[in-house]
Structure 1
Amino acid sequence: MKRHFDTQTEQHLLGEYLAHLAHRTAELQGERIRRTCEEFRRMQLGETMLLKTYSTEWVLRWIQGTGTELKHAVRISRIKAVGRWWAWLFQNSFLDDNVLACFYPCSQVLRHDEPLVLWQNLQRPIACYLEERGPRQLESRRKVSRLLINFNVFLHRNGRQTTDRGFIDEGHLIDWLRHLSETKCLHSLTLAAETTNSFLRFLLDKGHIDENPLALLRRRYSATRWDHFLAGFLELQDARLQPAVPVPRSVSCIAPQLQAFVDLKRAMGRRYESSEAILKGFDRFVAGSSGAKTTVTKEIVDAWMESLGHLMFRSRKRRLRLVRQFCLYLSREEADAYVPESTLINGRDPQFKPHIYTAEEFRRLLKAALSLPARRGSIRPMAIHTALLILYGTGLRVGEALRLRLADVDLMNAMLTIRDTKFFKSRVVPISGSLTEAIHNYLNERLKASASSEAFLFLNDRGGRYSTDKFGEIFRSLLVSAEATAASGQRRPRVHDIRHTFVVNCVLRWYREGADLQAKLPILATYVGHASVLSTQEYLKATPELLREASERFECSYGSLLDLEANGENR
């Protein structure tokens, strides 16, 4: 974005910059910058140099004009002074372009005879990327910053001048990778390619580009690792890339109805991603059984169920339920469509019992979290500790907690905003005073890394957010350290069981307070983000604690009647 400045604004911003410097430094730097500004205005007929922060053309004209009368050391000191001033203006968002920052040090601009014009500058997006997703370690941050600055310069020196959103295309990325391969080993090249891909994904997320050409290029080949892809694509080793085999789409005669069924489910507010994958697998089985013209028959369903024999009972039951729902959908249009019976799978569904963490167990988990190994300066132990507190104190899904951004945390009003969760819903979750204090203590350290409102609340050591898989891996290590084990015959404790624990603890508290559970359950369902009270009731398995509290409440309400019957007074 090119801003509009005049000489009065230029002098005002220069004064603000000099005001934050030491007195002697301000005098020296101010004199160098003012003289350069005056010489620039004489060259540009009264214009301010702040209008040309995106181009080095003026530097070349200055060197060929007034600069020829100056010693080389004086020219360097002048350019360095201007570069520091522009860097301060950029850091404080007065500028979005600082072409001198593309040279390291900025005096290197004096050595280049070819002008650099940032016609589609990425400097501000790079700064935002580093703030939100860049590494926390200072040295790693500098390396990533330098790489992306070089990428920005490479695009402008080798690309065509355009303001289109598609200014980064596949050809640019291939040339960039080849350029990197000339000076980097495979390991360094892999890190550079991963960083470039991460930055392009950031640009895509922010709407700066319409597609990520590097990701699209990689998907065309079967290599799953970046180093294998780069070695094969750039012919760095003997490796050879094989074209990726596309996953077959719906191919049978029921494909249009299947897609309509999936679209209907999504219109009802369901993501339906894993279910769609199961149904498309069934569709391919139908086509492969007797050709593309075959419809769903009892024989095909039986054969399909037989092919699922290696799966667990619950998985087979779920797949049958999905196919049965689809067949019911087909039967609305075709009265003779086959609908499999729900009892097609015989056997008793083993009752799943979640692990309800005791207060002592969870204290040990929190203690283990604070003892996690971490690099110097890392807030990893504190981040995991605070995330566990949020899960335990709010019952959030683990993905909801890990996707929280700084803008979603309102400590003043003690609330968390949960955005675009399951069923595409958003909700506001009030939090307790103790949890508010814990988050506040964590933020005192967290904000040292990044204060952008769009940055994630929980950052890993690379500056990105924790994935649910990585968090689950860390949690399983905490279970071992805390010696938290499941009862005999039950599955091992999971992260999601913290959510079950929260629901059970709420109901237990209401039991003890004598509250009306029928009135409270809808409130609890809304708080935890369930679609209906029925979903919440699934969490209320018959745990010993709930049975004991229910028995005590029954005893308090109807115990006198039972005593009368026992004494024969009410026959």
Structure 2
Amino acid sequence: MNTTPSLESGALQNFVRQLNLKTKDSTRVYRSVLGGFQRFVIQHSPNGVVSRRIIEGWLRDRSTVWPRHMVLHRARMVDRFLDWRVISGSLVNNPLAQLRQDYGRSDTTSIVRALLAGDPASALEALRPPPQFASFLGSAMHDYILLMQAMGYRYATRAATFLRLDRFLQNRPDLASQSLDVLIREWTGDAPTAQHAFECLSTVRILARALRRQAPSVAMPAIDPRLVQQARQAYRRPYIFTDEDVRRLLDTARSLPSPHAPLRPQTVYTMLVLSYCAGLRVGELAHLTVGDIDLGEATIEIRETKFFKSRRLPLAPSVIAALNEYLESRRRAGASTDINAGLFWHQQPVGSYSYVSTCELMRNVIRLAGFKPQPGRIGPRVHDLRHSFVVNRMLAWYHEGINPQSRLPYLATYLGHKDINSTLVYLTITQELLQEACNRFHTFAAEALQDSIGGQP
């Protein structure tokens, strides 16, 4: 049954204990809020059944005592507690989780706001997302996505863009009789920036190619060269970290203040080492496991990433030394040594850093090192470390007297690219790289000129 145990059952204490909360105040707050929720259920529900009506009643009762932001925060505590009870088998289902599923929401806050509204049923219904690919062009978009996926492409990014177009068209059935050029103009009007307009144009041109398979008379929207130029100029240029910059980042990571998570400074230090020295993407860092590291062979395994590629990368001795040090510290901290355990471990129940937390952790170090201001989406990005890896690798080849062009296919393979063109995108022309290329050309031109003069009769 979906019932609440008595306060003496120990479920609440067991739940709070497994959270591994860092302070006594946090433990006290959790016990107070969850204990109050259980008392409310016992007092207002026959047989202690946890239902949507009971949760709604508890929320309205608490909103007369707590400010709204506190109700939202503590409702998430209750939600996590009910999820834990479902997993442990003491509860059949969590009504809040059921509402999230029914209305297509990933967050609890929007559900709680709807339950506290004057008309909860209407507020919940407003949360329901529109059906996918239900517009007058939805079936064509959906069929094309299935075709591309059947051909071996993940096609997730473009599929998401098609979904945005589909939602727009569901609200604009009047465009069904209009040309694709009119559709582009109306869709672009939602956010008239050069990048948005270029994305709208690119997406509709792909859709036009799909439509022309069935109706060759469909007109292909023309490309506006001026729009393409404006969109390219609007993209942020990557920041290329120098060797001195990287040393500053690593020193900042080592000294990262983290009194409640002593392993975190070394964790982010190792993340930065792999990101810069091996050119790993953030997603590749987040998905690494203990078994992916082979200290004996000095390699790291990157599995099933972009373009469905897996690759085994040789690592420099300094990188292997950093990994060895981190694995030893990780073992002393009590982390699991199972080969399937996440490499970058923390003490929370999830056990390892997610993509978002990995990115945020590294971004925080970039800010603390003084490369990126605190507010806004400006300054160097985490992905710029991958750009820096490529540029600095090219510079190293120039310094070693190696022709970089002959090594580009190897670099593309190391980065996990499907071809050399993807690698060329990362070749940001810095002043130093340009100077090295000029020096190489002058040397070549001087030899060619000398041979030409020497060969004259």
Q: Is TM > 0.5 for Structure 1 vs Structure 2?
A: yes
Report the Cα offset of residue 478 of structure 1. Answer: 2.3
Moved more, 501-510 or 269-278: 269-278
State yes or no: 1:496 paired with 2:379.
no
**Distance verdict in 2 for CA 1:395–1:197, change over 3 Å:** farther
Compare CA radii of gyration and give the structure with the larger one.
Answer: 1
State yes or no: 1:411 paired with 2:295.
yes
Aligned residues: 405
Aligned to 1:72: none
Q: 1:541 aligns with which of 400, 405, 428?
A: 428
Report the Cα offset of residue 201 of structure 1. Answer: 8.7
Give the distance between the partners of 1:288 and 1:225, measured in 2 at CA: 25
Give the distance between the partners of 2:88 and 2:437, measured in 1 at CA: 52
Aligned to 2:148: 265
Give the distance between the partners of 2:75 and 2:185, measured in 1 at CA: 51
For the aligned residues, what is the CA RMSD?
4.4
Report the Cα offset of residue 514 of structure 1. Answer: 2.9
Report the Cα offset of residue 498 of structure 1. Answer: 0.4
Aligned to 1:525: 412
Moved more, 211-220 or 555-564: 211-220
Partner letter of residue 410 of structure 1? D
State yes or no: 1:468 paired with 2:349.
no
Give the distance between the partners of 1:202 and 1:472, measured in 2 at CA: 32
Aligned to 2:133: 250
Aligned to 2:197: 316
Contact 2:82 2:94 in 1 (8 A): no
Give the distance between the partners of 2:88 and 2:431, measured in 1 at CA: 49
**1:271 aligns to what SS in structure 2?**
coil
Give the distance between the partners of 1:500 and 1:199, measured in 2 at CA: 46
**Distance verdict in 2 for CA 1:229–1:434, change over 3 Å:** same
State yes or no: 1:441 paired with 2:325.
yes
Identity %: 31
**Distance verdict in 2 for CA 1:194–1:250, change over 3 Å:** same
Report the Cα offset of residue 563 of structure 1. Answer: 6.8
Give the distance between the partners of 1:202 and 1:521, measured in 2 at CA: 53
Contact 1:369 1:385 in 2 (8 A): yes
Moved more, 337-346 or 192-201: 192-201
**Structure 1: any 5+ residue segments left out of the alignment?**
1-102, 106-125, 148-170, 204-210
Aligned 1:184-199 pairs, distance under 5 A: 190-191=76-77, 193-194=79-80, 197=83
Q: 1:387 aligns with which of 271, 286, 292?
A: 271
Aligned to 1:151: none
Give the distance between the partners of 2:433 and 2:268, measured in 1 at CA: 30
**2:218 aligns to what SS in structure 1?**
coil
Give the distance between the partners of 2:250 and 2:88, measured in 1 at CA: 33
Contact 2:99 2:111 in 1 (8 A): no
TM-score by length of 1: 0.60
Partner letter of residue 413 of structure 2? T
Report the Cα offset of residue 441 of structure 1. Answer: 0.9
**Distance verdict in 2 for CA 1:220–1:518, change over 3 Å:** same
Report the Cα offset of residue 442 of structure 1. Answer: 0.9
**2:224 aligns to what SS in structure 1?**
helix
Q: 1:342 aligns with which of 195, 210, 223?
A: 223
Partner letter of residue 429 of structure 1? L
**1:542 aligns to what SS in structure 2?**
coil
State yes or no: 1:397 paired with 2:284.
no
Aligned to 1:330: 211
State yes or no: 1:420 paired with 2:301.
no
**Distance verdict in 2 for CA 1:449–1:494, change over 3 Å:** same
Aligned to 2:65: none
Report the Cα offset of residue 542 of structure 1. Answer: 1.7
**Structure 2: any 5+ residue segments left out of the alignment?**
1-8, 32-47, 63-70
State yes or no: 1:429 paired with 2:316.
no
TM-score by length of 2: 0.73
Q: 1:363 aligns with which of 238, 247, 262?
A: 247
Q: 1:458 aligns with which of 344, 350, 355?
A: 344
What is the CA deviation profile of residues 351-386 of structure 1, one whole-angstrom value per residue up to 9, with x for unaligned ones?
Answer: 753111011111111111122221345311111111
Aligned 1:98-247 pairs, distance under 5 A: 174=51, 190-191=76-77, 193-194=79-80, 197=83, 215-220=97-102, 226=108, 229=111, 240=120, 242-243=123-124, 244-247=127-130
Give the distance between the partners of 1:370 and 1:460, measured in 2 at CA: 17
Contact 1:479 1:485 in 2 (8 A): yes
What is the CA deviation profile of residues 126-171 of structure 1, one whole-angstrom value per residue up to 9, with x for unaligned ones?
Answer: 9xxx9xxx7666999xx9xxx9xxxxxxxxxxxxxxxxxxxxxxx9
Aligned 1:366-377 pairs, distance under 5 A: 366-376=250-260
Q: 2:443 aligns with which of 556, 562, 570?
A: 556
What is the CA deviation profile of residues 230-268 of structure 1, one whole-angstrom value per residue up to 9, with x for unaligned ones?
Answer: 6976x9x99957323223422333222110111122234
**Distance verdict in 2 for CA 1:278–1:201, change over 3 Å:** farther
Aligned to 1:274: 157
Partner letter of residue 276 of structure 1? A
Give the distance between the partners of 1:453 and 1:436, measured in 2 at CA: 17
